[in-house]
Chains A and B, each alone.
Chain A
Amino acid sequence: DAKTTQPTSMDCAEGRAANLPCNHSTISGNEYVYWYRQIHSQGPQYIIHGLKNNETNEMASLIITEDRKSSTLILPHATLRDTAVYYCIVRGGSARQLTFGSGTQLTVLP
């Protein structure tokens, strides 16, 4: 699986959009980009995934660049409950397991 690079930490004001970047410059054509988050001491929670096109669901939007070497997770209206570690993971082909990096600690400030 391709390696990902994320900032260690970010702050965001409550009610504003949180934009979390991820670099995955070695991604291959059949690999998907997944985002999970882990709220303190809980199990990771699936957020969204995508291959080439931008994706949106009830939790977030995923913007993938045309060359697929980077992506951005957008939480449109961050709340205090969105404070968590956010993991960007690249996975594809027949691989079943997820490889977690260090993630980005997002802190939503009141």
Chain B
Amino acid sequence: NAGVMQNPRHLVRRRGQEARLRCSPMKGHSHVYWYRQLPEEGLKFMVYLQKENIIDESGMPKERFSAEFPKEGPSILRIQQVVRGDSAAYFCASSPPGQGPIYGYTFGSGTRLTVV
């Protein structure tokens, strides 16, 4: 049973370009979460999605960032017009439906974004 798959593992973008980060949840998981970890800092929650719905985007920057989790395919975190401050590790996690807060959820290995 494959874990949470994130790609690419490393992504280099020039300032002003777009970055697209993909996350395929574990089989049977319908809840996806995105977190960002800036260098030498802890993980910060960004957004929580279910299939075709954004449930909580309270941690998302107001501009340039968007996320989706379509009915088919992976969840996508999109960063438009990247700036150097967007350089970070972006982690995706998934959980099964209906489990509530009882169980922890599974993280992927992350995408390291470097903006040059």
Residues of A within 8 A of B (CB): 32, 34, 36, 38, 41-46, 49, 87, 91-103
- Nearest-neighbor residue (CB-CB) of B46 within chain A: A97
Known: A41-B112, A46-B104. 11 other contacts (CB 8 A): A43-B4, A43-B109, A44-B43, A45-B107, A94-B100, A95-B101, A96-B55, A96-B95, A97-B48, A97-B56, A98-B105
Which among B45, B100, B106 is the interface contact of A99 at CB below 8 angstroms?
Answer: B45
A88 to B55, CA, bound (A): 25
Query: Does chain A have a CB within 8 A of B108?
Result: yes
| Chain B residues with a Cβ closer than 8 Å to the other chain, count | 28
- Contacts known (A32-B101, A95-B101); A43 close to B107, Cβ less than 8 A: yes
Given A42-B110, A91-B101, are A97 and B91 also a contact pair (CB < 8 Å)?
no
Chain A contact residues: over half helix, strand or loop, or mixed? loop
Q: How many A-B residue pairs have CB under 8 A?
A: 58
Chain B residues with CB under 8 Å of A93's CB are 101
- Which residue of A42, A94, A101 has the most chain B CB atoms within 10 A of its CB atom? A42
Residues of chain A within 8 A of B48, CB atoms compared: 96-97
Nearest CB to that of A42 among chain B residues?
B109
Q: Flag if A46 contacts B106 (CB, 8 Å).
A: yes
Cβ of B104: which chain A residues have Cβ within 8 Å of it?
34, 36, 46, 49
B2 interface residue (CB < 8 Å to A)? no
Report B-chain residues with C-beta under 8 Å of the C-beta of A92. 101
**Among candidates B95, B100, B108, residue contacting A43 with C-beta atoms closer than 8 Å:** B108
Looking across the interface, which residue of chain A has its beta carbon closest to that of B104?
A46
